[in-house]
Structure 1
Amino acid sequence: MMENYESIFWLCCSIPLVNFFIAYLVFAQMTVHPIEKKIKASGGSIPQWDNMGMRIPSYAVAMLLPVKVKAAQAIDEDSVQKFTS
């Protein structure tokens, strides 16, 4: 009886996790990559670090939130917002 609940649990956890990873990769390829190309073409600089893909959520936050904290910027939020409009 317990094995049945365990398999249901893993199924319910794995489907959203796979969906998240697919959405993450699609966002990276369809949004972040073109924005970085535009930033490079305009003479701006893009971050050279990417600690386990943490650059991608930084772009998402910069596109969604208007709050600017200059001391905590990992990317150039002004350039990201300029090229997403």
Structure 2
Amino acid sequence: MDLYHKLLILGGISFLIFGISWICFARISMSYIEREMKKEGKEPPQWDGMGARAVSYAMVIALPAGVLKNYILVDAEAAKRLSRPLDRKLAVWYLIAGFVGTVIILVASYVKPDDLIL
């Protein structure tokens, strides 16, 4: 088995891990934060273009406080304040899994053998 096929397998596994982390973050962290926001009288965003809400919450929670303080897609201050340590761990896991999976697939597309027809 050559490097290309190893990278494809590794990329598939990493995207499976990314999918699991996405579901865990959305079902555990996002639902908790939005429920707590409703208790404070703040409405969560009504849009969710292709899962962008999950990425937005994850970035707000995982990155340092000052980086996304004026973020317009979600209420960054409320999301950061209402998040628990578990939410931060899930957000970091979600973002890293997505980044690693994307990098592996991009590297695999770069090292693809020329004689391979897909």
Matched positions, count: 81
* Distance of 2:14 and 2:41 partners within structure 1: 39
Any stretches of 5+ residues in structure 2 without a counterpart? 85-118
- Are 2:30 and 2:54, in contact at CA under 8 Å, matched by a contact in 1? yes
Residue in 2 that maps onto 1:54? 52
Query: Aligned AA for 1:13?
Result: G
The normalised TM-score by structure 2 is: 0.60
- Report 1:1-20 matches (<5 A): 4-5=1-2, 7-20=5-18
Q: How many percent identity over aligned positions?
A: 25
> Structure 1 or 2: larger helix share?
1
Residue 31 of structure 1 aligns with which residue?
29
Q: Any stretches of 5+ residues in structure 1 without a counterpart?
A: none
RMSD: 1.7
CA distance in 1, matches of 2:32, 2:69: 24
1:42-61 CA deviation, whole Å, 9 max, x = no partner? 10021111000010111111
**Paired amino acid for 1:59:** Y
Deviation string 1:22-58 (CA, Å, 9 cap, x unpaired) is: 1111011111111101101110021111000010111
Greater relative contact order, per chain length (Cα 8 Å cut-off, separation 6+): 2
